[in-house]
Structure 1
Amino acid sequence: MQCAEVSGLSDELPRDVGSLFSDTYTEENRYRFCGQELRITQHFGANLGVAAPVWDAALYLCRYFEEQKMNFKEKKIIELGAGTGIVGILVSLLGGRVTVTDLPHALPQIRKNVSVNVSSDHIPNVSALSWGIDQVHFPQDYDLVLGADIVYLKETYDLLIQTLQHLCGPQTTIFLSSKMRKEHGTVDFFQNILPQYFNVEIVKRDSEDDINIYKVTRFQN
């Protein structure tokens, strides 16, 4: 379980994202999952916006991996929209060969957290990936594709689908953990859009915090 949580942050995304991050400051929190202690720095400010915090859906996904005792050793893994990088860092510490991605402005925060937490042979590769554009520069044979709270902007949903289609091979499993924000179309994405392209299954739900974890795989011919 986690050792500490970010306090004072709403898990709801305001329409004016900058209003939530109008003050600039840095905060470090410690978390513990799967026997690993993680030190995660968050750089709050308008520059990073929603990429700054550790969102509850990311912690929920880490806890799910702990509960399932999932084996990541030598698996080829990519995380989308990583933000602080907490999910990718944990999976890397558990033996995965991880690529952590986000938009360019978020990469310095991710690299900082990677450098603090990972010093093994499995240091994650940190790369920019703009959905719908950059996925063609990445391979198509990942064992796992991960994403935590990346489904909240309707205008990005088609781009995310394109990216998942490219990254997801016949043997790939996608895990998406998401706060179910109806006003942002999140529910519609998972119930109506994503199932047009993939098999979609809820594997864990937190009804109190309204967070779902979905297991997603390609249709088999």
Structure 2
Amino acid sequence: MDIRKTDSQRAEATTISATECRTNITVLNEIDAERALAEEQLAEDLHIDDEERGPKDWQRFYMGYHQRFVEDCVLELKAGQLRVRLAQAPSAKVAAKRAAEGRHGKGTQHKQKQLDKASDPALTGTTVWDGAVVLSHYLTETAILVRPSNLPYAHSGGSLPTVLELGAGTGAVSLALAASRSAASVTATDLPDLLPHLRLNVGRNSSLLPPGRVHLQPLRWGPEGEHDVQNLGPVRPPYDVIVGSDLIYYSYTPETPHSRLLLWTLRRLCGPHSTVYLSLSLHHNPEEVERFLRWAAEGDDGFHVLRLKASIPQQWRVPDVLVARLKPKWVTAVAAPTPRGLGDGDGGLMAEIAMRDDAGDGGISSVGVS
């Protein structure tokens, strides 16, 4: 008998068994994750009255022009004990376009609009929208971001997360998180031309902000923004939590690929234990919101998407703002343990598997080797 050949065959069989075991565990993890997600979605939908009851007095969409686009917006957090004041500018830079039209005629107005679109695709970056109001209150008035000391965040290492905001605009969500001490650090990002307005609002609220915890960085979405991703700091990706409000306006076309670019950037910034919270006003483009969430859930490199309803405090729960939580699917693959004890004489599998809830908010449990 050729002993070497037998040993080789045994080693090959052991490798195949280990691979199959890892695959099976990953599949089981994914099945468990889908089942847990379905249960969470059912809980979010229970006892929710979807009947239209008219707009709430805080909804900016129903306010007059000057309140919506020109006057300061004040976010009253912590039952009014904390006031974040946000400067706005006229939507779509109306003032600049009107001034240009008055001086030079409509031809210059058109040129100004094109220049604005180059830096602010939806021409809305200096306005506070309903989605930002809802997300600011949800993240600061619930315990959703606070972890127990025995289950710290993967990247901050503590009970509060490292947070990055996409398309921060006026900085409403980032400043709410920082002022309320709901994050270990906050990195607010937007297109380079919008950072001066964001910086203005940081300065106006500086007395409320913990020193050294708020960072402003340029970040373009999609592969074009890879250089921006590489230069993010001082807190580097991946982040514990990524947030964004009212990020979807245009329908996807090759000329307006913003939804696809947003998804690319989310994948680039997330680690396996990251959580994404998006608050999306449905006034703008509900069809594109649904398309984006469908794309986000596709593939092994996609996300588990949970639509939040019951979790949102009633005062801030409105039918025209959709809040979604996204968690990477690839956590199940990363967490699948490498089988140990194969080929130890009896071909047995001696794997020790420990269950750990990395969600911190009643979410999906992942599996790892102790």
Question: Normalised by the size of structure 2, how large is the TM-score?
Answer: 0.51
Aligned residue pair count: 206
Q: Is the 2:189–2:217 contact (alpha carbons within 8 Å) kept by the matching residues of 1?
A: yes
Query: Counterpart in 2 of 1:216?
Result: 326
Question: How has the CA–CA distance of structure 1 residues 169 and 39 changed in structure 2, closer, same or farther, with 3 Å as cutoff?
Answer: same
Query: Counterpart in 2 of 1:40?
Result: 86
3-state DSSP of counterpart to 2:71: strand
Question: How has the CA–CA distance of structure 1 residues 187 and 125 changed in structure 2, closer, same or farther, with 3 Å as cutoff?
Answer: same
Q: Is the 2:239–2:270 contact (alpha carbons within 8 Å) kept by the matching residues of 1?
A: yes
Q: 53, 56, 64: which is aligned to 1:8?
A: 64
Question: How far 1:71 sits from its partner (Å)?
Answer: 4.1
Q: CA separation in 2, counterparts of 1:177 and 1:168?
A: 18
Query: Counterpart in 2 of 1:17?
Result: none
Q: Which one-letter code corresponds to 1:159 in the other structure?
A: L
Q: Deviations over 1:31-87 (max 9, x none)?
A: 211342111100122556211210001101112124423446652110000111010
Query: Counterpart in 2 of 1:12?
Result: none
Which runs of 5 or more structure 1 residues have no equivalent in the other structure? 10-19
Q: Which one-letter code corresponds to 1:8 in the other structure?
A: G
3-state DSSP of counterpart to 1:27: coil
Give the structure with the larger strand fraction: 1
Give the structure with the larger helix fraction: 2
Establish whether residue 124 from structure 1 lines up as the match of residue 214 from structure 2. Answer: yes
Q: CA separation in 1, counterparts of 2:324 and 2:59?
A: 23
Q: Is the 1:114–1:123 contact (alpha carbons within 8 Å) kept by the matching residues of 2?
A: no
Larger CA Rg, structure 1 vs 2: 2
Establish whether residue 140 from structure 1 lines up as the match of residue 234 from structure 2. Answer: no
Q: Is the 1:80–1:100 contact (alpha carbons within 8 Å) kept by the matching residues of 2?
A: yes
Establish whether residue 201 from structure 1 lines up as the match of residue 306 from structure 2. Answer: yes
Percent sequence identity over matched residues? 28
Q: CA separation in 1, counterparts of 2:83 and 2:240?
A: 25
Establish whether residue 162 from structure 1 lines up as the match of residue 272 from structure 2. Answer: no
Question: How far 1:103 sits from its partner (Å)?
Answer: 0.7
Which runs of 5 or more structure 2 residues have no equivalent in the other structure? 1-55, 95-115, 147-158, 334-370
Establish whether residue 99 from structure 1 lines up as the match of residue 187 from structure 2. Answer: yes
Question: Normalised by the size of structure 1, how large is the TM-score?
Answer: 0.82
Q: Which one-letter code corresponds to 2:305 in the other structure?
A: V
Q: Is the 2:249–2:285 contact (alpha carbons within 8 Å) kept by the matching residues of 1?
A: no
Establish whether residue 57 from structure 1 lines up as the match of residue 57 from structure 2. Answer: no
Q: What is the RMSD computed on CA atoms of the aligned residues?
A: 2.8
Q: Which one-letter code corresponds to 1:186 in the other structure?
A: V
Question: How far 1:8 sits from its partner (Å)?
Answer: 1.9
Query: Counterpart in 1 of 2:107?
Result: none
Query: Counterpart in 1 of 2:246?
Result: 149
Q: CA separation in 1, counterparts of 2:195 and 2:259?
A: 22
